[in-house]
Amino acid sequence: MDKPSAPSCERNRDPILGALREHFADRHKVLEIGSGTGQHAVHFAAAMPQWQWQCTDRTENLPGIRQWLDEAALPNTPPPLALDVNDAWPAGTYDAVFSANTLHIMSWDEVEMLFAHLAKITAAGAKLAIYGPFNYGGRYTSESNAAFDEWLQARGVHMRIRDAEAVDTLAEIVGFDLIDDIAMPANNRLRIWQRTR
């Protein structure tokens, strides 16, 4: 198979990395939920060798991720693990969790399932970083996000841009408090929570 490639990863990887350098500076074990192609993992793990970056995704996406990891041959990227938020999660405890462009692809039930599992796989004080588009107060932040949401719902009725406040509520339920909300290119955000209880 051809190695998968997402142009958006090439465009957003450096702004995301800049924010993660600050918020994950003292982190060691990072779980990435929904690694997609694996491009983010390779870029971030190469830049920050102190992070052990654990890729995960649905089984059908793992071969493409392996291609990126095998080509990079980094010592801090173990083999990717299968993770479907509806099924069993990999064992282990992480002090950081990262996910990009996943919440609007999942159904809301799956978003709830993702957050429900966080307390089981994170250490005290763990940080959570989620990248992607968000609505605020039930409103789109740009015309391009409104158009994107329309495109998503045409692909699947379960897909849509999530309301930041609703996601914050899910985080609070499992003991994570919002500590930063960073503007990113293309009307996206990188939102950071920390486990406080």
pTM of the predicted model as reported, rounded to 2 decimal places:
0.97
Chain position carrying tokens 């996910």? 99
Task: Render each residue's pLDDT in the chain as its tens digit; 197 residues.
Answer: 789 999 999 999 999 999 999 999 999 999 999 999 999 999 999 999 999 999 999 999 999 999 999 999 999 999 999 999 999 898 899 999 999 999 999 999 999 999 999 999 999 999 999 999 999 999 999 999 999 999 999 999 999 999 999 999 999 999 999 999 999 999 999 999 999 99
Q: Please state, in angstroms and rounded to a whole number, the distance separating the CA atoms of residues 166 and 160.
A: 13
**What is the structure's pLDDT at 2?**
86
- Residue 159: Cβ within 10 Å count: 17
Q: What share of the chain is helix, strand, coil (3-state, %, to 5)?
A: 40, 25, 30
- Residue 197: Cβ within 10 Å count: 9
- Residue 46: Cβ within 10 Å count: 14
DSSP run (H or E) holding 171 = helix 164-173
How buried is 143 (Cβ within 10 angstroms: 0-12 exposed, 13-18 middle, 19+ buried)?
exposed
**Model confidence pLDDT, tens digit, residues 109-142:** 999 999 999 999 999 999 999 999 999 999 999 9
